[in-house]
Structure 1
Amino acid sequence: MARELGADVTGLEVLECMKDPEAELGLNEHHQNEVINYMRFARSKRGLRLKTVDSCFQDLKESRLVEETFTIDEVSEVLNGLQAVVHGEVESELINTAYTNVLLLRQLFSQAEKWYLKLQTDISELENRELLEQVAEFEKAEFISSNKKPIIDNIRPKLAPLNEGGAAELLNKEILRLQEENEKLKSRLKATETQATNALDEKSKLEKALQDLQLDQGNQKDFVKAQDLSDLENTVAALKSEFQKTLNDQTENQKSLEENLATAKHDLLRVQEQLSMAEKELEKKFQQTAAYRNMKEILTKKNDQIKDLRKRLAK
């Protein structure tokens, strides 16, 4: 049973809808017939692949098992060869089954996208044993029982859109509403793009004006710096000229003071000489007076008396 289910029970459309056991797969008659067609296709592919595996064993028996006894190495070689062939057949079938299921899902999803629907799948349900057993029972009821269901033509037309009304009408209204909203959003997006473009243009103009202003400020700063430097040079030159003039004045004043000092020294020496001559003249005149002569005589007598007293004291 597990081997028979392995290649068939892979369609998500079967597992997603098995919620009501009383209604077999829980699908309407149309969808259930589609499932039966897919299972018939899977059974035919499975039968062909099993026949291929059986033929591998039959070929081995006819080509290799012709002797009565085999060694261990020969048995291992035979089994390895058989394993490689069976492995390749099974792998090829599994890959083909997976790709077939992808194509089936693609058909379903494409039809759903035409109605702006988003289908979802639950991979974990693929290993639900209860659902797998339900599929097995459904397969028994449909294919093992004798002619329970009529054979449906293998060529199936594509699904046609549902008639207007009910859920389809609501879906169309929702689609129209979404299209109108989409148009509004497109208009708003266009207006926003226009505003953004205008804002970018304004930004470019402001950046250019800022660059021009910065350039003007730079030129103005250079002009101010040059003017300040020129003023500073003129000020330094004026100060240097004034300093040189002051230095020259001081040099002239120093020379004048030195000359005046020399003149004053000469005048002082002349005055001192005149004073000395005047003193000598005065002393000479004073010595010629009677008072001076009398004073000198008195001093001479006193000196003589002192000398005499000293001699007497010495004795």
Structure 2
Amino acid sequence: MAEFGCNEHHQNEVINYMRFARSKRLLRLKTVDSCFEELKESRLAEETFTVDEVRDMLDGLHAVVRGEVEMELINTAHTNVLLLRQLFFQAEKYYLRLQADISELENRELLEQVAEFEKTDFKVSDKMNQDSGKAKLAPLNESGVSDLLNKEIAKLQQENDNLKAKLRTLESQAMNVLDEKTKAQRALKDLQKVQGDQQLTAHSKEISCLEDTVAALKEDYERTLTVSAASQKGLQENLVSAKHELLRVQEQLALAEKELDKKFQQTAAYRNMKEILSKKNEQIKDIRKRLHKFPLSDTSRANESPSPSPAAEREVALERRERK
């Protein structure tokens, strides 16, 4: 397979993979053949079939064959992925990055060359590789590996030297920064100390002024409290004495009213008026009794004038006076 540009070792690996793929393909073809044979033996026992029966048999066969072909395609894709995984792992050990051109997988010329190789050279390669046994993928030749490793080591050493130089530069810069930081901290401490002394003096003056002000306000407040307490006490005493005086005056007024009523009742005019009123009441009662003995008739009442008699007027006046 020199026309593909592969060496003998890689050619043998390709032959091994093709042998594996051919065995899988033959096994799957046998499975498809068995599906057809099973259909012939189980369903084609009768001489005549209806259209529905034929359609049913074809649908069942189609489903079985489709499943087998799909399974084989999936299995082939997965095995190809595993093969690529092995190749990539070997390449990563030596810091290689492999690339695959997917468009070349549909190259007709290369596919025809593979088919021709499978027909002609494959049988010869089978005889040559019978004694080789099952071998794993081997790494690249030692000369190429050593060259790659030497190049990689030189590259890493160069990068290491560059990093060391950068580290020394950074260390010197860091030391300079630390010195500047130390100087700045010292200057800041000195400045804070000076400012602290000045601020302490100013704060002490302000505090003394505030203490004096607070003391004066406290004295004024205590004085005001004393005056207000004294005035409040005097007002309370005046209020109590005023209440006592008011009660005494009210009691005297009540006694004076009682004495006046008693004196008025003891006067002769009051007694005469009371006697006159009692006599008049007796007269009125006597007159009422007399009037009840002589009642007027209905006709005479109708013919009488609506104006009341003098006796009736007097009687009404007496009743009003008694009510009063």
TM-score under structure 2 length normalisation:
0.49
The residue that corresponds to 1:151 in the other structure is 130
> Cα deviation per residue 1:282-314 (whole Å; 9 max; x = unaligned)?
xxxxxxxxxxxxxxxxxxxxxxxxxxxxxxxxx
In 2, the alpha carbon distance for the partners of 1:35 and 1:147 equals 12
CA contact (8 A) 1:49 1:93 kept: yes
The residue that corresponds to 2:84 in the other structure is 105
Secondary structure at the counterpart of residue 100 of structure 2:
coil
Tell whether 2:155 aligns with 1:178: yes
In 1, the alpha carbon distance for the partners of 2:43 and 2:166 equals 76
In 2, the alpha carbon distance for the partners of 1:190 and 1:94 equals 56
Letter in 2 for 1:133: E
The residue that corresponds to 2:55 in the other structure is 76
Matches within 5 A, 1:41-190: 41-143=20-122, 149-160=128-139, 162-164=141-143, 167-183=144-160
In 2, the alpha carbon distance for the partners of 1:57 and 1:193 equals 79
TM superposition outliers: structure 1 runs of 4+ over 2 Å: 22-26, 142-154, 160-164, 167-170, 177-195
Q: Aligned-pair RMSD on alpha carbons?
A: 4.9
CA contact (8 A) 1:142 1:149 kept: no
In 2, the alpha carbon distance for the partners of 1:88 and 1:159 equals 37
- Shift in Å at residue 144 of structure 1? 5.2
CA contact (8 A) 2:12 2:125 kept: no
- Shift in Å at residue 155 of structure 1? 1.2
Aligned pair in 2 of structure 1 residues 163, 64: CA closer, same or farther (>3 Å)?
Answer: same
Letter in 2 for 1:65: L
Aligned pair in 2 of structure 1 residues 189, 88: CA closer, same or farther (>3 Å)?
Answer: farther
Letter in 2 for 1:27: C
In 2, the alpha carbon distance for the partners of 1:146 and 1:33 equals 8
> Cα deviation per residue 1:16-70 (whole Å; 9 max; x = unaligned)?
xxxxxx8243211111011011101110000000000000000011111111111
In 1, the alpha carbon distance for the partners of 2:166 and 2:62 equals 64
Aligned pair in 2 of structure 1 residues 194, 143: CA closer, same or farther (>3 Å)?
Answer: same
The residue that corresponds to 1:238 in the other structure is none
Letter in 1 for 2:56: E
- Shift in Å at residue 137 of structure 1? 0.5
The residue that corresponds to 2:14 in the other structure is 35
CA contact (8 A) 1:56 1:85 kept: yes
In 2, the alpha carbon distance for the partners of 1:146 and 1:179 equals 43
In 2, the alpha carbon distance for the partners of 1:54 and 1:189 equals 72
In 2, the alpha carbon distance for the partners of 1:93 and 1:160 equals 30
In 1, the alpha carbon distance for the partners of 2:165 and 2:146 equals 29
CA contact (8 A) 2:91 2:97 kept: yes
CA contact (8 A) 1:37 1:152 kept: no
- Shift in Å at residue 115 of structure 1? 1.1
- Shift in Å at residue 150 of structure 1? 4.5
In 2, the alpha carbon distance for the partners of 1:188 and 1:34 equals 48
CA contact (8 A) 1:53 1:86 kept: yes
Name stretches of at least 5 consecutive residues in structure 1 with no aligned partner: 1-21, 200-315
In 1, the alpha carbon distance for the partners of 2:69 and 2:170 equals 58
In 2, the alpha carbon distance for the partners of 1:75 and 1:111 equals 54
In 2, the alpha carbon distance for the partners of 1:60 and 1:192 equals 83
- Shift in Å at residue 120 of structure 1? 0.7
Matches within 5 A, 1:21-32: 23-32=2-11
CA contact (8 A) 1:112 1:119 kept: yes
Aligned pair in 2 of structure 1 residues 56, 122: CA closer, same or farther (>3 Å)?
Answer: same
Aligned pair in 2 of structure 1 residues 180, 50: CA closer, same or farther (>3 Å)?
Answer: same
TM-score under structure 1 length normalisation:
0.51
In 2, the alpha carbon distance for the partners of 1:105 and 1:142 equals 24
